[in-house]
Amino acid sequence: MGRIIASVTITNAVDESKSFRCDALVDTDAPLMFLPSAWKDRLGNLQSIRGVELETAIQEIVSGDVCGPVKIQIEGFRPIFSEVLFVEMKPADGIYDPLIGYIILGQSQAAVDMLGHRLVPIKHMDLK
């Protein structure tokens, strides 16, 4: 599968003056919206819900902080309310790669079109 990048707006659900927009990589193996810890202050005071340990692709264990509530809107899709996971990231050439995970995609009713390398709307949520 090729890289699918989507524009996302993330807003503090309690203080809507705290918001930012970024381009994020769609990662169907990641569960949540992953953001660099360096961006945490952009959303103001978020509640830290829980700490988690994550295993990276190179089998390194890193810590993350699940925070919320936030409003997440993938461009072209309906907004949702969820949590984000802040994790230490190393920027490549000064640019971070935030991730959009499968829970966020499902809640947004967005599906991956693997042939067209894009996100497409899901008409109906799956009940089965």
Is residue 70 a contact partner of residue 43, using CB atoms and an 8 Å limit? yes
Residue pLDDT tens, the chain, 128 long: 579 999 999 999 999 999 999 999 999 999 999 999 999 999 999 999 999 999 988 899 999 999 999 999 999 999 999 999 999 998 988 899 999 999 999 999 999 999 999 999 998 877 77
Angstrom distances, CA of residue 9 to CA of 1, 62, 69, 81, 99: 24, 26, 14, 12, 13
Helix (H, G, I), strand (E, B) or coil at 43: helix
For the chain, the residue count is 128
Angle at the Cα of 112 (from 108 to 114), degrees rounded to 5?
175
- pLDDT at position 1 is 53
- pLDDT at position 126 is 75
Handedness of CA 66, 22, 41, 89 (dihedral sign): positive
- pLDDT at position 124 is 84
Is residue 59 a contact partner of residue 38, using CB atoms and an 8 Å limit? no
Give, in words, the CATH class of 5-121. Answer: mainly beta
